[in-house]
Amino acid sequence: MTEENNQDPEVDLDAKLEEMMLNLRLPDPADLQDEIDGITSSEALAEFEKKHLGKGSSIAGEMRNLGRLPQDQRREAGRRINEVRQAVQGRVNERQEALTVQERAASMAAEGIDVTVDHRQIPIGSLHLIQQVIDEVSDIFTGLGYHVADGPEAELAWYNFDALNTPPDHPGRLESDTMYLDYGKPEDEMLLRAHTSPVQARYMEQNPPPVYIVSPGRAYRNDTIDASHLPVFFQIEGLAVDENIKFSDLKGTLEEFARQFFAPDTVVRLRPHYFPFTEPSAEVDVSCFNCDRGESSCRVCGGSGWLEMLGCGMVDPAVFEAVGYDPDAVTGFAFGMGVERLAMVRHGIDSIRHFIDNDLRFLEQFQG
């Protein structure tokens, strides 16, 4: 670097000469640069700034003296003092910026924050449609005063079948239907639960009435995958036990649920059915929300006007006995629904396989 280049651009030789003629005592901003570069903290820089630009500085002194200069020199001297003051201030500010960056980095390092990861690069995912439906159904029932309960997926056969009044020769017990776990002791026979209903028995065993619960979770069956079956799928179980619960309470509850989940004018239809743990039992259809009562071209109901939704019934007294409740003191209803089925019906999804394919083109349509 040549000597000339080393000089502050704002301090040219003419200006220096002029300054001498004006007899001003001002620092050369370029001469201060080394000192400024050597300053390593904001506090030290503040000291420096005070010394060179503060009240006791030569710049401030010359400024104060301006009034004593002959009239014809005042303007030029003022201009020159300002020029030097601004040049020094500019260098101080520049150093301050650099120090601020360094000090922030040091304090973040001390706090352990890694700012090198660019968050914008990470795509933000969303809940799977199945989880969204579980959350929505749980919300509807908690709004009706229910609690959400949980139970194990690896379950004792007793809770999955016996406590739920399922006879020893029930076809569901066959290995062709249910996935058994190889667990030794016959009295502790274990399986992957074939439905979420065992949560009913577990909950009642642990809690006295009244009971108002829903229990979402996985269920397992020895099914081959096709458009409507998966060996692992989701159900939501419901159970209400109290004094004097009636079949009309069951229907009213399911109607309220269907109206909130599907459409406000949904109608519910119950058809007689059989489940071991409820008596009487019913299957529940909801009126098609997509067409006006069964248009033959409707892709949701296929023209029937009804959508098969879930199983339900009044809790069988034998179940109350199995869990230690007095069947003469309480009554109750139970219901169970398939989560995939709820989602498929509502969104017109044609195959249950979409839920496990992990195809983003499918999943991204349901960003909740």
Alpha-carbon Rg of the chain, whole angstroms? 40
Exactly one of 195, 341, 346, 354 binds ligand DAH (CB under 6 A); that residue is 195
Report residue 7 as tokens.
Answer: 């000089």
Residue 312 or 352: the one with the smaller Cβ distance to ligand DAH is 312
Work out how close the CB of 312 gets to ligand DAH at its nearest, in angstroms, rounded to a whole number: 5
221's CB contacts (< 8 A; 6+ apart) are 177, 178, 179, 194, 229, 231, 233
- Partner residues linked to 53 by β-bridges: none
Check residue 19 for interaction with ligand DAH (CB under 6 A). Answer: no
Residue 48 or 261: the one with the smaller Cβ distance to ligand DAH is 261
Exactly one of 62, 237, 316, 340 binds ligand DAH (CB under 6 A); that residue is 237
Stretch that binds ligand DAH, among 19-27, 85-93, 175-183, 334-342 (CB under 6 A): 334-342
Stretch that binds ligand DAH, among 20-28, 31-39, 244-252, 328-336 (CB under 6 A): 328-336
Work out how close the CB of 188 gets to ligand DAH at its nearest, in angstroms, rounded to a whole number: 22
Residue 66 or 144: the one with the smaller Cβ distance to ligand DAH is 144
Work out how close the CB of 196 gets to ligand DAH at its nearest, in angstroms, rounded to a whole number: 7
Check residue 334 for interaction with ligand DAH (CB under 6 A). Answer: yes
Residue 262 or 335: the one with the smaller Cβ distance to ligand DAH is 335
Check residue 189 for interaction with ligand DAH (CB under 6 A). Answer: no
Report residue 269 as tokens.
Answer: 């239809």
Burial 194-230 (b: 16+ CB within 10 A, else e): bbbbbbbbbbbeeeebebbbbbbbebbbeeeeeeeeb
**Is the preceding peptide bond at 231 cis, omega within 30 degrees of 0?**
no
223, 150 contact by CB (below 8 A): no
Work out how close the CB of 251 gets to ligand DAH at its nearest, in angstroms, rounded to a whole number: 13
Residue 29 or 151: the one with the smaller Cβ distance to ligand DAH is 151
Helix axes 58-65, 71-111, angle to 10 degrees: 150
Exactly one of 312, 339, 345, 352 binds ligand DAH (CB under 6 A); that residue is 312
Q: x-or-dash pattern for ligand DAH, window 272-311, by CB under 6 A?
A: ---x--x--------------------------------x
- Partner residues linked to 234 by β-bridges: 218
Where are the alpha helices (H) located in the chain, listed in sequence order? 3-6, 13-22, 29-37, 42-53, 58-65, 71-111, 129-143, 157-160, 198-206, 247-261, 317-323, 339-347, 354-357, 360-363
* DSSP helix/strand/coil, 337: strand
Residue 36 or 239: the one with the smaller Cβ distance to ligand DAH is 239
Residue 48 or 333: the one with the smaller Cβ distance to ligand DAH is 333
Residue 29 or 313: the one with the smaller Cβ distance to ligand DAH is 313
- As a whole number of angstroms, the distance between CA 336 and CA 358 comes to 26
CA distances from 32 to 2, 13, 39, 52, 342 (A): 18, 17, 11, 9, 76
Residue nearest to ligand DAH (CB): 336
Q: x-or-dash pattern for ligand DAH, window 336-355, by CB under 6 A?
A: x-------------------
- As a whole number of angstroms, the distance between CA 77 and CA 85 comes to 12
- The DSSP-derived string for 27-76 is --HHHHHHHHHT--SHHHHHHHHHHHHSTTSHHHHHHHHGGGS-HHHHHH
Exactly one of 276, 335, 340, 355 binds ligand DAH (CB under 6 A); that residue is 335
Check residue 316 for interaction with ligand DAH (CB under 6 A). Answer: no
Check residue 197 for interaction with ligand DAH (CB under 6 A). Answer: yes
- Residues in contact with ligand DAH by CB under 6 A are 195, 197, 237, 275, 278, 311-313, 334-336
